[in-house]
Amino acid sequence: MSTYELELDETGAAVVMASLSGELDLTNAREVEERLRSSASTGRTLAIDLNRVVFIDSAALHVLFKLARDLGRDALVLVLDPEAPISRTLDIVGMRDAIRVVASRDQLDRASSA
């Protein structure tokens, strides 16, 4: 069984930050989806920081695509540095076409305050 961690920071008025780390795969994709869905709230953006994820498989990618479809492009954003371990994988599957992606939390903060 793969391990992952999910830390939530709900202190911001406009953004809920979910920081994921570890491995995301078939063994934990359903749990990750449930936890992310429960942290998404109406009127707030769910930002998912994937910079510390070292592996992602198709089941976990499917979760991200489902969240994008269900929440909408304005309610979901990924924080992912171009040099992050899974950045290339997300580029290959066209994630940037489905979900807004920013390179850093600073970039997210600037976009939220604009």
Three-state secondary structure call for residue 55: strand
Residue 10 above 80 pLDDT? yes
Residue 114 above 60 pLDDT? no
How far is 36 from 46, CA to CA, in rounded Å? 8
Task: List the structure tokens of 104.
Answer: 């850093």
Show the domains of the chain with their CATH numbers: 4-113 (3.30.750.24)
* Ranges assigned E (strand) in the chain: 4-9, 15-24, 45-56, 76-79, 100-102
The DSSP symbol for 25 reads: S
- Give φ, ψ of 43 to 5 degrees: 85, -5
Q: Which residues pair with 49 in a beta bridge?
A: 19, 79
Residue 93 above 70 pLDDT? yes
Predicted confidence band of residue 113 (pLDDT cuts 50, 70, 90): low
The DSSP symbol for 70 reads: H
The DSSP symbol for 88 reads: H
| Residue-wise pLDDT tens digits, 43-85 | 789 999 999 999 999 999 999 999 999 999 889 999 999 999 9
Q: Look up the pTM and report it.
A: 0.91
